[in-house]
Amino acid sequence: MNKKQIVKAAAFLIVLLAVWNIATGIFIPKWTTGTSITYLTDEFYQTKKNTVEVGIIGSSQLVNGISCGRLLDEYGISAFSCATGEQPALCGWFYLLELDRLQDIKAVIYDTSMLYEPEEEVRFRKTLDTAPMSINKLRLIAERSKSQDSSSVASYLFPLMKYHTRWSQLTYEDFSYKNGNTEMFWGNVYGGKVNRNASYDKICVDNEMPDPQVKMDENELAAFEKIVSYCEDKDIALVLVKTPKSTWERAKTDGCQELADAYGLPYIDFNRGENLQAIGFDAGNDMWNQDHLNVRGTDKLTDYMGAYLKEHYVLSDFRESPDYDAGKMERFRVERSNKYLQTTIQVEEYLERLRDDRLEILVQKSGDFSDAFSKELQEKVKALGVTVDLSQLNGQYYAAQLRNGAAVFEQIQSDPIEADIDFADGNSGVVKSSTEDPVLMAAVGKKVPFSYHGLNILAYDKETHTVADIATIYVNEEGTLMLDHDVQEVQEQ
C-alpha cells in the first residue's frame, strides 16, 4: 500500500468514526426528564478539573436530596452529584473513580437505597450508554461483563449496535436534547411538586418491627465494598446517608447501620425520627412524591449535611475561588426561587412569592371564588397590580397582565375576554376569561390548559423566558379556598 492509499484509508476511517459517533449520539435513548442522566453526563465532563471537593453518588434520592448549588451558596462547599436514577453500586464505583480522576475529592456521600435492590441491565445502560470512553469506563465494562445478565461487551463499547433499530422511534428530542437542560445544576434537579398525602408515619421507621427476611443484594454489597476499599486507599472520607423515603423499612435502616459500623463509617438515616426532627421535616410540604424530596425538603437536608461536612472535614470555601461561577449561581438561585413558587400550597404565601420583578403575571377568571376571597388576600393581589375588587366579580369575566406591581392590561366585563399580550422580553401570549373546558392561556408558543376553574395564574419569567409556574386559586366542594398547580398537558399553540 502506497502513501496515497494510506492517506485515503485513514481519511475514510476518520469520516466513518465521525459518522458513527454522530449516529450513536442520535440513536441512544435520552434520559432528559426525572433524574436527567443525559444532562448529568454533559455537565459533569464540562466541569473544570480540580474544582470539586465533595462527590455525591447513589440513587435518584440524592439527585433531589442534597443540593450542590445550595452547599456552595450557603457553605462554600464545592460538590457535584453523580447520583442517577436506580444507580447500581457498581456504577457508583465508576463515578467515584471518575470524580477522583477529574477532581480533588476529599469526601464522598453515598446513598444506600440500592443496596437492597437486585441488579437490572437497564440501570447499567443509563451509565454505560451516556459516559464517554475512558479507562474507568473500560473497568466498569469489564466488571459488569462478569454478570450473567449483562449485554455483550461490544454493545457496551459501541451502543449503536444495540440501538440502531430505534430509527422508527426517533423524535425531535433525539436531535435537539442538548438545548433542553434548564433545571440541572451541579448534577441536581430540584423537585417542583408537593405530595400533600405524604405521611410522616410511613417515612419514620422508628416504630416498625424489622423484617428478618430483608437482606442486601450480594452483587450490590460486593460493589459497595469496592467503593469502601477505594476510598480507604485514596484517603477519601465516605459518608453514608438515607434520605426520607416512604418505601424504606426499619430492617434496611438497621442493616445499613450494621454495615456502617462494620466499616467504621458514619451513617445518617433521615428515616429516623431524631434526624427528621433535626431538619424540621414536614411530610405534607417537603416531599415531591413518596420517595423523593422537593425543593423545600432538599434544602432542609442540604443544610444539615452542609453543617455536618463543615464540622467534620477540612474543605475550601469556593465562593472565594477565581473559578467561582457567579453567573451559574445566579441562574441556580432563579431556578430555586421558581421551584419554591411551584411548591407553594398556601394562597397567602403564593401571592407573596409572585411579588418578584422577574415575573410577569397573567390572570384570568374562569369560575367564581369571590365569596372566599378575604380583605387580606385582596390587599395582596392589589400589591401585584390588580385594581378591581376580586371579591365582587361574581357573574363577571376578568383578565389582566401584571408587571412590576402594575396592570399592563386589565379588563372586566359581562362577556368572555380574549386578549393577545406582549411580555417585556418581546415574547407573546394570550390571556382569556371564559367558562370553557379546559380553561386555556398561552405563552411563548404553548397552550396551557388549566385543570381547575377559578382564578387562573400564569407566572412568566422574563429572565429565563419560560413559564415559571401555573396555578389556580379556587373554592373546593367544602367551600375552602384552595391553591393547586395541576394543569393538563401543555400543547403547542
pLDDT for the residue numbered 490: 47
Three-state DSSP at 456 gives: strand
Instruction: Tell me what pLDDT residue 32 has.
Output: 44
pLDDT given for residue 163 in this prediction = 57
Residues 6 or more apart whose Cβ sits within 8 Å of residue 13 = none
Task: From 24, 65, 129, 474, select the one nearest 302 (Cα to Cα).
Answer: 65
According to the model, what pLDDT value does residue 162 have?
59
**Coil vs helix vs strand at 30:** coil
Note whether 239 and 107 are within 8 A (CB): yes
Question: Residue 348 has which C-alpha cell?
Answer: 397567602
pTM: 0.89
User: Residues 103, 54: contact at Cβ < 8 Å?
Assistant: no
Task: Tell me the three cell numbers of residue 119.
Answer: 441488579
SS3 label, residue 83: coil
Burial 259-273, CB ≥16 within 10 A → b, else e: bbeeeebebbbbbbe
pLDDT of residue 7: 62
At residue 34, the pLDDT reads 47
SS (H, E, C) 200-258: HHHHCCCCCCCCCCCCCCHHHHHHHHHHHHHHHHHCCEEEEEECCCCCCCHHHHHHHHH
pLDDT tens per residue across all 493 residues of the chain: 677 666 666 666 666 555 545 555 555 665 544 445 567 888 999 999 999 999 999 999 999 999 999 999 999 999 999 999 899 999 999 999 999 999 999 999 999 999 999 988 888 887 888 888 899 999 999 998 887 666 666 667 666 555 555 556 666 565 555 555 557 899 999 989 999 999 999 999 999 999 999 999 999 999 999 999 999 999 999 999 999 999 999 999 999 999 999 999 999 999 999 999 999 999 999 999 999 999 999 999 999 999 999 999 999 999 999 999 999 999 999 999 999 999 999 999 999 999 999 999 999 988 887 777 888 888 999 999 999 988 788 888 999 999 999 999 999 999 999 999 999 999 999 998 888 877 788 888 888 888 888 899 999 999 999 999 999 999 888 888 899 997 655 454 4
Show the CA angle centred on residue 316, arms to residues 106 and 132, nearest 5°.
50
| pLDDT of the residue at 19 | 55
**pLDDT given at position 452:** 85
